[in-house]
């Protein structure tokens, strides 16, 4: 049974994240939207604060250690349910994204690659990489959503892996200290041979080819990376180097079970920001949505607001379920994709509709509504597009594999 009431510990953590969003992110949001690729120096102080909180076990922002801190299995059995590292990370992602999702994505030492490390690293690797700033590099010029099409290669040479390939659209690809790179160790064995590797920023052969100019999340750097005979230690492969054809690449795909609810939380945070701003705009215009009057008896703008708010609530609850399942060691691939699909679609719908209803004010730079509309679009694309999430949901519901349903 899921208790939808947040425990005191998570409330305190979420409140701290909200204060960061309100006091640090919001005031500089427009500044770094207009100054793309400029590093937000204001985040350095915050990084030190987060490190201290993480060391004390008081807070996590994006799941650097994921569910490893959620307690032992016996305690979970006795209590019935657990809210651990994943839930804390989801709530903090939601609150900081309410402030500015681009700045949230560029918080030092809190990259999406950290969640990947948490998902599949051994305890020894988690000890080594638990405090790095890890980006995640999956997409290549030859493919987008089909993660199984990875062509970057990793060849074992003595006690080192040699990586060759190009990765594009890598979030914090220039600023992070490490990159989690997906590569194949044997192309002849298909997707089962795809593994993830932790590549240090200063590894020989790793270069930043260029930075992307983007529609939104401009505070976050998005890079193209090239690996040319890039050498890393043999034990920097996450999980087992053995290729298990029967298992496929479920190990690396498990990463998404952790990160997709986090991306859903980002969309939920941006969506809530837009709804709050729109409510204020409507109030100034003399329109206040009512929960006591049927929607069809209210002004069209109020009725539309209520529709969007209900969609937002559904997205929030789906993300809570997927995250709770992760904390309680329950398979959540279906629920993670459901939450990502719903939140991504809701985020773009809510922010674009808010711009439309607010009229000239929404389209101008006098508020952040137009910025949130631009920022939200990527949240329906990265970590698996809307279409890919629906495909995954269909496969899980129908019990069909990727060879049967494409």
What is the average per-residue pLDDT within 138-159?
A: 89
Residue 34 is predicted with a pLDDT of 97
140 is catalytic: no
State yes or no: pLDDT of 30 exceeds 60: yes
* pLDDT value for 72: 47
Which residues lie below 8 Å from residue 262, measured CB to CB, with a gap of 6+? 62, 63, 89, 90, 93, 112, 115
| Mean pLDDT score of the chain | 89
Q: Give pLDDT, residue 51.
A: 64
**296-320 pLDDT per residue, tens:** 999 999 999 999 999 999 999 999 9
Ramachandran angles phi, psi of 41, nearest 5°:
-65, -25
Q: Does 124 score more than 60 pLDDT?
A: yes
The pLDDT tens digits for 172-211 are 999 999 999 999 999 898 888 999 999 999 999 999 999 9
The single residue of 277, 304, 370, 383 carrying the catalytic annotation is 383
Instruction: State residue 115's pLDDT score.
Output: 80
Q: 385-403, pLDDT tens digit by residue?
A: 999 999 999 999 999 988 8
Confidence of residue 1 (pLDDT cuts 50, 70, 90): low
Residue 367 structure tokens: 């508020």
**β-strand pairing of 134-137 with 178-184:** parallel
Query: What's the pLDDT tens digit per position in 50-104?
Result: 665 555 454 454 444 444 544 444 444 444 567 788 899 999 999 999 999 999 9
Contact 326, 332 (CB under 8 A): yes
Of residues 114 and 204, more confidence is placed in: 204
Most confident of 123-127, 241-245, 367-371: 367-371
**372 vs 384, residue with greater confidence:** 372
> What integer pLDDT is reported at residue 190 of this predicted model?
85
Domains and CATH numbers, the chain: 8-129 (1.10.540.10), 134-238 (2.40.110.10), 250-398 (1.20.140.10)
- Four-point Cα dihedral 396, 398, 404, 406, nearest 10: -60
């Amino acid at each position: 049974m899921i208790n939808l009431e947040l425990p005191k510990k998570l409330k305190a953590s979420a409140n701290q994240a909200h204060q960061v969003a309100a006091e640090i992110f919001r005031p500089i949001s427009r500044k770094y939207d207009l100054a793309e690729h400029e590093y937000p120096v204001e985040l350095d102080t915050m990084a030190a604060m987060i490190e201290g909180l993480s060391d004390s076990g008081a807070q996590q922002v994006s799941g650097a250690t994921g569910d490893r801190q959620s307690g032992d299995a016996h305690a979970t059995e006795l209590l019935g349910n657990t809210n651990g590292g994943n839930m804390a990370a989801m709530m903090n992602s939601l609150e900081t994204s309410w402030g500015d999702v681009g700045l949230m994505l560029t918080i030092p030492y809190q990259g999406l690659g950290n969640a990947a490390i948490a998902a599949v690293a051994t305890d020894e690797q988690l000890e080594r990489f638990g405090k790095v700033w890890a980006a995640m590099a999956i997409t290549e010029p030859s493919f987008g959503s089909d993660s199984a099409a990875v062509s970057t290669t990793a060849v074992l040479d003595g006690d080192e892996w040699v990586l060759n390939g190009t990765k594009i659209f890598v979030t914090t690809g220039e600023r992070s200290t490490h990159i989690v790179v997906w590569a194949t160790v044997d192309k002849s064995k298909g997707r089962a041979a795809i593994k993830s590797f932790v590549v240090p920023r200063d590894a020989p052969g790793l270069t930043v080819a260029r930075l992307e100019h983007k529609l939104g999340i401009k505070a976050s750097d998005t890079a193209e990376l090239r690996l040319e005979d890039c050498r890393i230690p043999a034990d920097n492969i996450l999980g087992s180097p053995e290729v298990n054809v029967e298992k496929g690449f479920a190990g690396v795909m498990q990463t998404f079970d952790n990160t997709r609810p986090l991306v859903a939380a980002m969309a939920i945070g941006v969506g809530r920001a837009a709804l709050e701003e729109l409510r204020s705009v409507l109030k100034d215009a003399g329109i206040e949505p009512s929960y006591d009057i049927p929607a069809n008896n209210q002004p069209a703008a109020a009725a539309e607001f209520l529709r969007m708010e209900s969609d937002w609530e559904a997205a929030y609850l789906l993300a809570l379920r997927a995250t709770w399942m992760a904390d309680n060691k329950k398979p959540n691939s279906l629920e993670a994709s459901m939450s990502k699909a719903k939140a991504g679609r809701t985020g773009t719908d809510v922010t674009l509709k808010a711009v439309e209803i607010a009229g000239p004010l929404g389209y101008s730079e006098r508020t952040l509504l137009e910025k949130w509309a631009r920022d939200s679009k990527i949240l329906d694309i990265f970590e698996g597009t809307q279409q890919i999430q629906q495909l995954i949901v269909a496969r899980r519901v129908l019990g069909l594999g990727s060879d049967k349903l494409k």
